[in-house]
Each structure stands twice: as C-alpha cells, then as structure tokens.
Chain A
Amino acid sequence: MTVTELGLPLRLVDFELDGQTVRVPEGSTILEACTAVGTEIPTLCYGDTLAPVNACRVCMVEVEGARTLIPSCSRKVEPGMKVHTDTERAKHSRKLVLELLGSSTDLSTTPKVDDWYGDYEAKPERFGPQAAVADSAERDAREAGRHN
C-alpha cells in the first residue's frame, strides 16, 4: 500500500488588503494573495518557479507601520497586516522604478511594460538623453574608489 504524507493542514491567515479582509493559506506572499483576489501588481523579476529575487522593486506595496515600502513578491502575509496596493506612495514608486529602468535598459521585448507605462504615466525619457558611452580609459579613471 502506498502511503502519501500529507503533512499538517495549512492554517489560514486573515489580513486586510486595500480595506477588504482577505483569507489566505499561511506562508502566502502578499503578491500571491493579490493574485488570488484579482488585484494586479506589476512584477519584472518575479518568476513562479524561482525564489523571490527581490531586486526589480516594481511590485512594491505599502504596509501600515513599515518605514519603507515592501516588495510584495517576497513578504509573507501576517495576521492582521494592513496592506495598500494603490496609494500615491506605492504608485509613485512603481512609476519611478519603471522610468529608471526604462531610461537605462532596453525594455522593448519585456511583456506588458508598455501597458504599465500607460497605467503609471511613466516617461523614461524625462531624465534627458542617454550619455554616449565613455571612452574606456576615461571610464577606468572614474571607477570605484575615486569618490569624486
């Protein structure tokens, strides 16, 4: 006879998402909870088969009581947590991150990025034209250690 180990049943956790009480299995991330209830949060470095990379900072949300914004892809839901996905602060952060990335990187093959530019009114070109690539000798002379 085959015995399948089921483990302990998952407990459920209640928290507040944009003013609504949401119940998710313990250990869920804020992003997973948002996806479950249909709240779209843009992400770039998130992959559902990867451990959270936590580096793109597009999926930031506001958690009451936290000093900074929180990456929803890696923060696990805690009981009673109050999360806001749509505050001016969170939207400003997503807009600026998209602009900063778009101003320094080719995002032309990145899925959905044009939609997000529209959603957040992001204009990467407002930082001015990109500088020409510096001569390598000049670049080497400016590299780390010379805090000019």
Chain B
Amino acid sequence: MPERPLKTVLMGGAAGSFVRGDELDIPLTFEGTRDAGTTLGSGVVLALDDSVDMGDILLRIAGFFRDESCGQCVPCRVGTVRQEEALARITAGKTLGTPADDLALLREVGQVMKDASICGLGQTAWSAVESAIDRLRVFEESK
C-alpha cells in the first residue's frame, strides 16, 4: 500500500481535540498535552491520513454528541442539534447567510455548550470541532 501523509491526529476521542500532522513531538502525558493546548482525554490517539474528509469526521462527531446528549439541560440538548445542523450546512455549502455567518453561529453555539452545560458531555461537545476549525483551519475557505 502506498504511504499517505499523516493529516491530523485526534487526541482523547470525540471529546478531545485535533492536532496537526506535523505536531508529533507532543509528550503523551497530562502536562505535555496540556502545554500543547490539547488533551489526553480518554487516551485515544486517532491518526488520520489525507484521504479522510474532515467534514465527514466532524459531522460524525457532532452526530455522536447529538445522540448521546441526555436532554436534561438546554445548551446541550438543543446545542448539539444546532451544532450538527450548522456543520451540515457548511460542509454541504448550503449556509443560511454567508459561510462566515454560519461559522460564527457555530462558534456561539459551541461557546454556550462549553460554558453552560451541566456535565462534561455538553461541555466538550464542541471541543473537537473547535480545534478542527482553529488548529487545522478546515473551513478556512468559508471565512
């Protein structure tokens, strides 16, 4: 099989965060990952090569959190749905306003989930998506 370039590594699972494929010197310790602005999370290290569609991965993560939200608190119950909808619109190129508007809306939803959800599920439901946007710049063309 031909070797493909490493594109990104998802640290800590769905509630973790993406780092770039060129950041392979992060020590796998609590301190090392914290200093690099990422997390050990569940301990998962998921390596993805350049054949992976990041939009699909993010939609899958968003769908996972939408499914797993227990529904007790508003930011997570509705926020995970709105996050998935915004991602679906952005990846399909069918945004409500400009792509930048939908990206801003997604950030606002992410912030309230992080700040106001009762438990860690809602508080981290936006973590991987945020890192993909800010660290991998996956929607750079949408800005």
**A positions within 8 Å CB-CB of B:** 54-58, 60, 68-69, 89, 92-93, 96-97, 100-101, 103-104, 126-128, 144-148
Check: B36 CB closer than 8 A to any chain A CB.
no
Q: How far is the CA of A103 from the CA of B72 in the complex (A)?
A: 17
Partner of B82, one of A57, A93, A100: A100
Q: What's the least CB distance linking A95 to chain B, in Å?
A: 8
> Could you tell me if A68 and B85 are in contact, using CB atoms closer than 8 angstroms?
no
Structural contact, A92 and B74, CB atoms closer than 8 A: no
Q: Which stretch (B47-55, B104-112, B128-136) binds chain A?
A: B104-112
Q: Count the A-B residue pairs with Cβ separation under 8 angstroms: how many?
A: 75
A57-B74, A103-B82 known; A96-B118 Cβ under 8 A = no
Whether B63 pairs with A147 at a CB distance below 8 angstroms is: yes
- A62 CA / B85 CA spacing, docked (Å): 29
DSSP majority for the B interface? helix
Chain A nearest CB, measured from B15 CB (Å): 14
Which secondary structure characterizes the binding site on chain A?
loop
Q: Are B67 and A147 in contact (CB under 8 A)?
A: yes
Question: Which B residues between 59 and 91 are near A, CB-CB below 8 angstroms?
Answer: 60, 63-64, 67, 72-75, 78-79, 81-82, 85, 89
Provide the residues of chain B in CB contact with A56, threshold 8 Å: 73-74
Q: Which of B74, B96, B109 contacts A128 (CB 8 A)?
A: B96
Q: With a CB–CB cut-off of 8 A, which chain B residues contact A55?
A: 72-74, 118
B39 is an interface residue with CB less than 8 A from chain A: no
B8 within 8 A of A: no
Instruction: Report the minimum CB–CB distance from A129 to chain B (whole Å).
Output: 9
- B residues near A (Cβ < 8 Å) are 60, 63-64, 67, 72-75, 78-79, 81-82, 85, 89, 96, 105, 108-109, 111-112, 114-118, 123
Note all chain B residues with C-beta closer than 8 A to A101.
74, 78
What are 26 A-B pairs at a CB distance below 8 A?
Answer: A55-B74, A56-B74, A57-B73, A57-B74, A57-B117, A68-B114, A68-B116, A68-B117, A68-B123, A89-B115, A93-B111, A96-B108, A96-B109, A96-B111, A100-B74, A100-B75, A100-B82, A101-B78, A103-B78, A104-B78, A104-B81, A126-B105, A127-B82, A128-B85, A147-B64, A147-B67
Contact partner of B116 among A60, A103, A145, A147, CB < 8 A? A60
Decide: B75 and A97 in contact? CB cutoff 8 A.
yes
Residues of B contacting A92 in the complex (Cβ-Cβ under 8 angstroms):
108, 111-112, 115
What are the 9 tightest A-B residue pairs by CB atom distance, in nearest-first order?
A: A96-B112, A100-B78, A57-B116, A93-B116, A69-B115, A147-B64, A104-B78, A128-B96, A93-B115
